[in-house]
Structure 1
């Protein structure tokens, strides 16, 4: 899991929530650390890059590295197109709260927190269905 700036906070929130579900997750706000972790992924792995505007070079590179290892890649962004979305197998879109952001704003964090809770609810429900079978 990787993001820069305020998206790094979002990556940490999502990682923490997934860890509490019992999933092995790594998140780093350091591009060099995240790129190194991405190199260790394999086809059983999922790499998630978070970028509000979808044009962050480091997040795009993280997803590209992960994709080369065979990992399934997901971009979380407010834009369906752009470099980050193109580097991912799947794109999850969200809308930031309030007016369009100013540089350095963290206004997209509440939207990603809500998305995090929804994704974890879906995972919990899927696990419950699998356990019932």
Structure 2
């Protein structure tokens, strides 16, 4: 009766050819590449979205500034034409103050968006570095 034996390199349970180690390393590299592509895609999406948001806010601010200048011009004209229209002037000044307040709020929103984007990019880079360190030193 003949005893079946494993090939010489596998008798001790070790793959001497390194086949499995190569595949394990290749799998790690593929996972790293997929992770980098995913995180890069997310980062680019965030940057594009933020850019679109900032552009929209800037256009809105320009429109608000034009409206504000127009309102101030109208206010000056009304004051020159007649002093008896005090109520109208007060209303226009209130609208101007409201418009300026909206401009300030818009600037705060832009700063917030830039801050969130910066934090997101920092977190993304940190995740990539941590993942690479964990993967490479396994």
More helix by share: 2
TM-score normalised over the length of structure 1: 0.26
* Bigger share in strand: 1
- RCO (CA 8 Å, sep 6+): is it higher in 1 or 2? 2
- The TM-score normalised by the length of structure 2 is 0.25
Q: Which has the larger Rg?
A: 2
